[in-house]
Structure 1
Amino acid sequence: MDLTTVSITLFILLVIFLGGSVWIGISLFLIGFGGLIFFTEVPFGLVLSNVVWNNTNGSAMLALPMFIWMGEILFRSRISQNLFNGLAPWMDAIPGRLLHVNIIACTFFAAVSGSSAATTATVGKITVPELQGRGYHPRLSFGSLAGAGTLGFLIPPSMMMLVYGIIGDVSIGKLFIAGIVPGALIALLFSGYILVRSLINPSLAPAGADRYTWKRRLIGLKEIAPVAVLILVVLGSLYRGWATPTEAGVVGVVGAFFFALLTRSLNWQVFLDSLQGAIKTSCMIMLIVMGAGYLSVAVGYLGITRELTLLVSEMGLSPYMLILILTVLYLILGCLLDGFSMIVMTTPIVLPMVQVVGFDPIWFGIYLVLMIELAQITPPVGFNLFVISGLTNEDIMTIARAALPFFLLLCAATVIVTLFPQVVLYLPDLMR
C-alpha cells in the first residue's frame, strides 16, 4: 500500500474514533498501534514502552502539574474576588468601565493559571453577575470575557507552551518569555476595541452608582498585590535563570498557598479540591501526550513526516503561503478538536516543515498558541464558549456571535506577529 493511501486511511480512522467519542488519548494510541502493526514490521510493544517513558520521565513534564495546581488553588480561593475588587476602582473612570476588568483580570489571572478555561471560569464567575446587574451590554460583556479568557494559553506560564516545548524539544523558558509581548498586544487590542465602542455608544457601559475616590483606588492596590507578586516571582525566577520551569512551578504553588492562607480562604476542603482538580487535569493531558507521542513515532516509521517535508521543499512555497495554508488547517481543526490535541497531533509533522522554510521554532510555538486561542472561541468545540454558556445560560451560538469581534482581533494579532516576528522573538533573543 502506498504512503498516500496509508496516510488517508489513518486520518479517516482517527476522525471515526474522535467522532465516536473515544477518548482522545486512546484514539491516538489505537491509530499508532494500527499504523505499526499493519504497515510496518516494527515491534510495537517496545516502541510503546520507550515512548511512554520518554514522554513522562523528563523534569519539564513535572512542571505541568505544578502550574495546574497553582491555578486550581487560585481558582478556589478568595484571591480572584479580591483581584476584581482591586481593579474595579481603577477601570471605572475609563470609557468602557468595568468591561476592561474582564480584560485586565483575565490578563493577570492568565499569568498565574496557565489555563484558558480556568481563566474564563474564574473571572466570569465574578464579572458576569456584576456586569449584568449594572446594565452593561450583554454581548459586549460575553464577547470580551470569551476573548480575554484565551490569554490563559498565551501569557506565561502556559500549559500549552509546556506541552509544545516538550514535544518539539524547544526551550520552555524562552517560550514563556516569548508570550509576554504578544499577550500584552492582544490585551491592548481588546481594551482598545472596547474603548472605541464605548466612546461611540456610552450606553454599552453605563456609569454605576459607585463613585471611587483615590483613597479607594490606592486601597485596591493591596488586593491586586498577591497576583502581581506571584507573577513577578514565577516569571522573574525564570527570566533571571534562578529557577527551571519545574522549580518555578513549585514556587508558584507555595506562593498560591501562602496568599490563600493570608486571605483566610484556605481550608482542608479547598486543599483537597485543588489537589483532585490538578490530578484529573494532569492525567488527562499526560494520556494525550503519550498517545500523541506514540502516533508521532508511528508516523515517523511510516515515513509520512519525511515525505511531507520533502513535498513542501519541492513545492517551493513561500514562508507566508505555508503559514496561510496552516492557518486555514488549524481553523478547521479548531472547530473539531481541543487545543492539546491540536498541538500533540500536528507538532511532530508541522514543525519540521516550518523550520525548512526558515521559521524559528519559538516563533512557531507562539503562532500555534494563537491558533489554539482562536479555537477556544470557535463553535462547536470552543471551550470558552461552553464555560460562558454555563455561567450565563445563553446558547453557544449567541456567545459565539458575541465573541466574533474578538476572534477577528486575534486574527489581526496573528497577522502582526507573522509580519513582524520580532514581536515574539525580541525578549527570547535577550536571553541568548
Structure 2
Amino acid sequence: MSDLGIAGLLILALFLILGSGVWIGLTLSGVAWIAMQLFTSRPAGDAMAVTIWGSASSWTLTALPLFVWMGEILFRTRLSQDMFKGLSPWMQRLPGRLLHTNVVGCAIFAAVSGSSAATCATIGKMTLPELGRRGYPQNMVIGTLAGAGTLGLLIPPSIIMIVYGVAADVSIARLFIAGVVPGVLLALLFSGYIAVWALLHPDQVPAPDGRMRFAEKLAASRSLIPVTLLILAVLGSIYAGIATATEAAAVGVLGALAISAAQGSLSWRTFKDSLLGATRLYCMMALILAGAAFLTLAMGYVGLPRHLAEWIGSLGLSRFQLVLMLAVFYIVLGCFLDGISMVVLTMGVIMPTVTAAGIDPIWFGIFIVLVVEMAQITPPVGFNLFVLQGMTGRDLLYIARVTLPMFLLMVLAVFIIYAFPALVTWLPRQM
C-alpha cells in the first residue's frame, strides 16, 4: 500500500475510534497497534510494552505532575483576591484602568501555574465579579480574561512546554527561559489593546477610585509578596542553575503549601482535594503521552515521518511558507483537540520536517505554544471558553466573539517572533 493509503487508513481509524467516545490516550494506542500489526513485522505487544514503560518512567516527566499539583494548591488559596488588592492601586491611572488587572494578574499567576485553564479560572474568580460590580463592559472583561488566561501556557513553568520538551527531546529549562520574553511581549500586546480601546471608548471606562498616596499603594502591594517569592524560588532556581525543572517543581509545591498554610486555607480537605485533582489531571496526561509515544514509534517503523519530510522538502517551500502552513494546520487541529493531544500526536511526524528545514527546536517549541494558546480560545474545543462559559453563563459563541481580538494579537505575536527570532533564542543562549 502507498504512503498516502496508509496515512488515510490510520487517520480514518483515528477519527472512527475518537468518534466512538474512546479516550484519546487509548485511541492513540489503538491506532499505533493497527499500524504495527498491519504494516510492520515487529510484534505490536512487545513494542507497546517497551514504549509505554519508557514513556511512563521518564525522569524528565516528573516535573509535570508536580507543577500540576502546585497549580491545584494555589487554585484553592486566596491568591487571586490578594493579587487584585495589590495590583488595582497601580492600574487606576492607565487607560482602561482595572481591565489591566486581568492581563497582569494572569501573567503573574502564569509564573506559578503551568495551566491556561487554571490561570483563567483563578484570576476570573476575583476579576469577573469585581470588574462587573464596578461597571466595566462585560465583553471587554470576558475577552481580555480569556486571552490573558492563555499566558499560563507561555510564561514558565508551562505544562505544554514540558510535554513538548519530552516529545521533541529538547531541554525543558531552556524552553522555560525562552518563553519569558514572548510571554511579556504577548502581555504587552494585550495591555496595549486595552489602552487603545479605552482611548477610543472613554465613555465606557468607569471613573477611577479615590486617589491613594504612594505609601498606601506600597502597603496594598504587600499582598503580592508571597507570589513574588514563589516565582523567585521556582524560576530563579532554574535560571541560576541551582535546580533542574523537576527539582524546581518540588520547590514550587512546598512553596504553594507554605502560602496556603500562611493564608489559613490549608486544611486536610483542601490538601486532599488538590492532590486528587492533580492526580486525575496527570493520569489523563500520562495516558495521552504513553499512547502518543507508542504511535510515534509505530509511525517511525512505517516510515511516514521520513516520507512526509521528504515530500514537504520536495515542495520547495520557504521557511516562512512552512511556518505559515504549520500555523494554519495547528489552528485548525486546535478546533478539535486539546493542546497536549495536538503536541504529542504530531511531534513524531512534524519534527523531522522542522529539523530538515533548519528551524531551531527551541524557537519551534515557543511557536507551538503560541498556536496551542490560540486553540485554547477557538470553538468548539477551547478550554478557556469552557471555563468562562461555566463562570459567566454566557453562550460559547459570544465568548469566542469577544475573544477574537486577543486571537488576532496572538497571530501578530507569531509574526513578530518569526521576524525577530532572537526574542525567543537570545535568553536560552546565555545559559
- So what's the TM-score if we normalise by structure 1? 0.98
How do 1:257-268 residues align onto structure 2 when only pairs under 5 Å count?
Answer: 257-268=257-268
Partner deviation per Cα, 1:174-200 (whole Å, 9 max, x = no partner): 000000000000000000110111011
Q: Which position in structure 2 is the counterpart of 1:307?
A: 307
Shift of residue 58, structure 1, vs aligned partner: 1.9
Q: Which position in structure 2 is the counterpart of 1:168?
A: 168
Shift of residue 50, structure 1, vs aligned partner: 1.2
Q: Which position in structure 1 is the counterpart of 2:109?
A: 109
Partner deviation per Cα, 1:354-402 (whole Å, 9 max, x = no partner): 1111100000000000010000000111110111111110000000010
Q: Which amino acid aligns with 1:21?
A: G
SS of aligned partner of 1:113: coil
Q: Which amino acid aligns with 1:180?
A: V
Consecutive unaligned residues in structure 1, runs of 5 or more: none
- State percent identity of aligned pairs: 51
Q: Quick one: distance in 2 between partners of 1:426 and 1:205? A: 39
Q: Which amino acid aligns with 2:343?
A: I
Q: Quick one: distance in 1 between partners of 2:162 and 2:61? A: 8
Q: Quick one: distance in 2 between partners of 1:209 and 1:190? A: 23
Q: Which position in structure 2 is the counterpart of 1:69?
A: 69
Q: Which position in structure 2 is the counterpart of 1:293?
A: 293
Shift of residue 205, structure 1, vs aligned partner: 2.4
Q: Quick one: distance in 1 between partners of 2:21 and 2:130? A: 37
Q: Quick one: distance in 1 between partners of 2:423 and 2:404? A: 24
Q: Which position in structure 2 is the counterpart of 1:342?
A: 342
Q: Which position in structure 2 is the counterpart of 1:197?
A: 197
Shift of residue 208, structure 1, vs aligned partner: 4.8
Shift of residue 55, structure 1, vs aligned partner: 0.9
Q: Quick one: distance in 1 between partners of 2:30 and 2:148? A: 36
Q: Quick check: 1:77–1:270 contact (8 Å CA) kept in 2?
A: no
Q: Quick one: distance in 1 between partners of 2:408 and 2:145? A: 15
Q: Which position in structure 2 is the counterpart of 1:330?
A: 330
Q: Quick one: distance in 2 between partners of 1:130 and 1:79? A: 15
Shift of residue 209, structure 1, vs aligned partner: 4.7
Q: Which position in structure 1 is the counterpart of 2:397?
A: 397
Shift of residue 56, structure 1, vs aligned partner: 1.7
Q: Which position in structure 2 is the counterpart of 1:183?
A: 183
Q: Which position in structure 2 is the counterpart of 1:90?
A: 90
- So what's the TM-score if we normalise by structure 2? 0.98
Q: Quick check: 1:96–1:204 contact (8 Å CA) kept in 2?
A: no
Q: Quick one: distance in 1 between partners of 2:52 and 2:429? A: 33
Q: Which amino acid aligns with 1:51?
A: T
SS of aligned partner of 1:337: coil
SS of aligned partner of 1:98: helix
Q: Which position in structure 1 is the counterpart of 2:43?
A: 43
Shift of residue 259, structure 1, vs aligned partner: 1.3
SS of aligned partner of 1:71: helix
**Superposition CA RMSD, Å:** 1.1
Partner deviation per Cα, 1:126-180 (whole Å, 9 max, x = no partner): 1000111111111111110000000000000000000100111000000000000
Q: Quick one: distance in 1 between partners of 2:6 and 2:185? A: 43
Q: Which amino acid aligns with 1:398?
A: Y
Consecutive unaligned residues in structure 2, runs of 5 or more: none
Q: Which position in structure 2 is the counterpart of 1:138?
A: 138
Q: Which amino acid aligns with 1:102?
A: N
Q: Which position in structure 2 is the counterpart of 1:14?
A: 14
Shift of residue 211, structure 1, vs aligned partner: 4.1
Query: Would you say how many aligned residue pairs link Structure 1 and Structure 2?
Result: 431
Shift of residue 125, structure 1, vs aligned partner: 1.0
Q: Quick one: distance in 2 between partners of 1:377 and 1:90? A: 28
1:372 aligns with 2:362: no
Shift of residue 59, structure 1, vs aligned partner: 1.5
How do 1:239-258 residues align onto structure 2 when only pairs under 5 Å count?
Answer: 239-258=239-258
Q: Which position in structure 1 is the counterpart of 2:4?
A: 4
